Every structure is written in C-alpha cells, then in structure tokens.
C-alpha cells in the first residue's frame, strides 16, 4: 500500500492533462455535418436496380434501408422453426390431457372440438398479424376460445389453452409481450367468471369481466412501459375492452352450433333441458302431475347433495 501511494504521488506530479473533451463543440460539429448531408428520396415506381447492372456498396445500403435485402434467417429455417413450434405446442397439450384429463383425450369429439377452437383462433391471429397496425394484437379473440373451452370442455383445459394461444398471438404480431399479457389476463378472467353458469346472461357477464380486466391490464402496462402518449394508451385499452365484448357475443352465437355439431351437452344446454316450458316436461306436468312433482323434489334433493360434496349439481339435478 505504501508503494502504491508513492507511485500515485509521483505520477500526479509528472502527468498533466493536455486534452479535454469539449462535448458542446462535438455536438455542434455533428449537427453541422448532419445538415450538410442532402436527403435522398426514393419515390414510388423508381427502379432501384436494373438487370445486368453491377451492385455497388451504395445500392446495398439503399436496399438494406428499404428492407428489401433479407439479412435474416432463410425461409426454410423459418418454416422449420414454425413446424417445431407447432409440434411442441401440440405435444404439450397432449401431455397435459394424458396426465390430468385422460377422459378428454379418449373422447374423439372433444379432441376435434379442442382442435377446431385452437385452429380457428390461431388462423384469426395469423390473419390479424398481417395488419400494419401495432395495435392488432389487442383484438385477437383469445377470450372467445377460452370461454368456449370452459363451457364445452373444462375450465382447466381452457386456462392452459388460453395461455398457449396468448403466447402464440404475441408471436404472430411481432413478438410483442404486452398484447400477450393482456389477452392472457382477459381470458383467465373470463374463465374464472364462468365457474358457475346458471343462465345465458352469465356469458354476457363473463364478457364484461374479461373486457374490464383487459382494459385495466392494457392501461397499466401502457403506463408502466412509458407509452408514446395517453391517447395511444387509451385507444389500445378501448380495443381490448371491445375484444372482450365481441368475444362474448361470438361465444353466445357459436355455442349452440358447436353443441349440436359435436354432441356436447354444456351447462347452458342442461339449463334449457330443465326449463319447465320444455314440451316433454309440460306434457308430464299435465298427464302425470304427481310424477312431475316427485321428480322435481328428487332433483332438488340430489342438487343439494351434490353441492355439499362439490359435485356438478346442475348435471345431477337435470339427470
């Protein structure tokens, strides 16, 4: 330590500062040089390169600036990566169903329904991904797929599938994290709000919950990330809110079609079957009122018993 201090004292006496950085002068020189550069405009229809012409370094720079020169991965590599990603996603879904919901995996109709919903939302996401707007990711109907899966298949499956679809949606719109998080929050909120479905208006309520959560998530993420301006953040938040509402409307419209096509009896369908205005129940009430009232009492008792053990009370009552 003493030697170090001695060397420092000697150097401080012998070494003097003979150059300093003049930041103001550097910035002024840069500004002058920037102004002396003449802008180059390439108008629509201008021929950049002609056949047989030798490509110069200036031409290469121009092509790179225009984004024409592809310096990224090859088409084959991109295609191979997409195939691997799809196989990985399908494998994860199959593994989850095999371990936790094997009965769904064994039902062909349920598998086809899951595949149809997954494929439909994915195709819509890819189509929306081609839109030039940076806000396109906020209108991908992932909440619709989550609500359909929660009603027709299982809420746990809906949570897993909506998470995967949200990640894929973020990828197809340019690897954006914020839209993926917003879609995930809105989808999970919709699934949780469908924990108990007693009427079709519950789907509208789920859509409002999803829309509200998506709106707040977009607003919070926009503020935390330091968005360009408040108007832009508000516009994205309104798009997220509209996505939740539209998703619930699409769910209500598609639900009867999917139930009939795949032979799935959802909670909504069971409520319709238990409606006293059903022709068969009305006939039973008129022709055998004693049997009708006895069936109602047995159904109510079975429903109470099912609720006490956390079973599907609606299914027990209707059955």
- pLDDT tens-digit profile of 289-298? 788 777 778 8
pLDDT, residue 314, reads 67
Q: Kindly report the pTM of this predicted structure.
A: 0.69
Are 106 and 180 in a shared domain?
yes
Are 108 and 230 in a shared domain?
yes
Are 159 and 232 in a shared domain?
yes
Q: Is residue 176 one of the residues assigned to a domain?
A: yes
Identify the residue with better confidence: 187 or 196: 187
Q: Is residue 218 one of the residues assigned to a domain?
A: yes
Q: Is residue 157 one of the residues assigned to a domain?
A: yes
Kindly state the DSSP code that residue 56 receives in the 8-state scheme: P
CA distance 148 to 26: 62
Are 167 and 217 in a shared domain?
yes
Are 116 and 257 in a shared domain?
yes
Element (H, E) at 165: helix 155-172
For residue 173, count CB atoms less than 10 angstroms from its CB and return exposed for 0-12, middle for 13-18, buried for 19 or more. buried
Q: Which of 198-207, 250-259, 284-293, 309-318 bottoms out in mean pLDDT, i.e. has the lowest?
A: 309-318
- Per cent of the chain over pLDDT 90 is 26
Nearest to 193 by CA among 250, 264, 131, 143: 143
CA distance 112 to 43: 51
- Is-contact 191 159, C-beta < 8 A? yes
Q: Which two tokens stand for residue 31?
A: 């500004």
Q: Is residue 24 one of the residues assigned to a domain?
A: no
Are 109 and 235 in a shared domain?
yes
Q: Can you spell out the DSSP letters for 218-251?
A: HHHHHHHTT-S-HHHHHHHHHHHHHHHHHHHHHH
Are 151 and 278 in a shared domain?
no
CA distance 224 to 221: 5
Query: Position of tokens 């020189």?
Result: 29
Identify the residue with better confidence: 54 or 117: 117
Single out the residue in 227, 242, 262 at which a domain terminates. Answer: 262
Instruction: Check which CATH number belongs to the domain holding 110 and give it.
Output: 1.10.1760
CA distance 19 to 165: 59
CA distance 189 to 209: 6
* CB within 8 Å of 193: residues ≥ 6 apart: 202, 205, 206, 209, 210
pLDDT, residue 75, reads 62
Identify the residue with better confidence: 243 or 315: 243
Q: Which of 64-73, 102-111, 192-201 bottoms out in mean pLDDT, i.e. has the lowest?
A: 64-73
Torsion of CA 228, 230, 231, 236, to 10 degrees: 80
pLDDT digits (tens, 9 = 90+) for 230-263: 778 888 999 999 999 999 999 999 988 998 888 8
Are 113 and 236 in a shared domain?
yes
- Is-contact 107 157, C-beta < 8 A? no
Q: Is residue 16 one of the residues assigned to a domain?
A: no
CA distance 219 to 223: 6
pLDDT digits (tens, 9 = 90+) for 56-82: 877 777 777 666 665 556 567 766 777
- Per cent of the chain over pLDDT 70 is 88
Single out the residue in 262, 282, 297 at which a domain terminates. Answer: 262
* CB within 8 Å of 270: residues ≥ 6 apart: 314, 315, 318
Rg (CA), the chain: 31
Number of domains in the chain: 2
Are 288 and 253 in a shared domain?
no
pLDDT, residue 102, reads 82
- Is-contact 264 113, C-beta < 8 A? yes
Q: Is residue 31 one of the residues assigned to a domain?
A: no
Single out the residue in 262, 288, 310 at which a domain terminates. Answer: 262
Are 114 and 223 in a shared domain?
yes
Q: Is residue 13 one of the residues assigned to a domain?
A: no
Average pLDDT, the chain: 83
pLDDT digits (tens, 9 = 90+) for 119-176: 999 899 988 888 877 788 899 999 999 999 999 988 899 999 999 999 989 988 888 8
pLDDT, residue 74, reads 59
CA distances from 36 to 24, 25, 31, 136, 190 (A): 19, 17, 9, 40, 58
Are 90 and 215 in a shared domain?
yes
Q: Is residue 41 one of the residues assigned to a domain?
A: no
Q: Which domain holds residue 245?
A: 82-262
Are 193 and 306 in a shared domain?
no
């Amino acid at each position: 330590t003493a030697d170090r201090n001695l060397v420092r004292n000697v150097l401080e006496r012998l070494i003097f500062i003979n150059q300093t950085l003049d930041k103001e002068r550097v910035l002024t020189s840069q500004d002058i040089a920037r102004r002396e550069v003449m802008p180059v405009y390439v108008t629509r229809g201008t021929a950049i390169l002609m056949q047989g012409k030798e490509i110069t370094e200036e031409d290469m720079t121009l092509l790179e600036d225009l984004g024409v020169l592809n310096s990224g991965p090859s088409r084959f590599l991109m295609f191979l990566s997409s195939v691997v990603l799809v196989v990985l996603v399908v494998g994860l879904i199959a593994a989850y169903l095999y371990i936790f919901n094997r009965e769904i995996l064994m039902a062909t109709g349920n598998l086809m329904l899951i595949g149809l919903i997954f494929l439909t939302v994915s195709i819509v996401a890819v189509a929306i991904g081609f839109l030039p707007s940076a806000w396109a990711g906020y209108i991908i109907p992932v909440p619709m797929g989550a609500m359909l899966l929660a009603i027709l298949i299982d809420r746990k499956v809906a949570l897993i599938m909506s998470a995967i679809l949200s990640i894929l949606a973020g990828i197809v719109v340019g690897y954006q994290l914020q839209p993926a998080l917003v879609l995930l929050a809105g989808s999970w909120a919709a699934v949780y709000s469908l924990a108990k479905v007693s009427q079709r208006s519950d789907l509208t309520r789920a859509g409002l919950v999803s829309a509200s959560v998506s709106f707040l998530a977009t607003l919070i993420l926009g503020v935390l990330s330091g968005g360009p301006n408040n108007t832009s953040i508000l516009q994205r938040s309104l798009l997220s809110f509209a996505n939740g509402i539209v998703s619930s409307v699409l769910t209500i419209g598609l639900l009867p079609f999917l139930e009939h096509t795949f032979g799935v009896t959802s909670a909504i369908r069971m409520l319709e079957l238990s409606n006293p205005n059903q022709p068969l129940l009305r006939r039973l009430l008129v022709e055998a009122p004693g049997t009708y009232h006895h069936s109602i009492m047995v159904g109510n008792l079975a429903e109470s018993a099912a609720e006490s053990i956390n079973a599907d009370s609606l299914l027990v009552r209707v059955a």
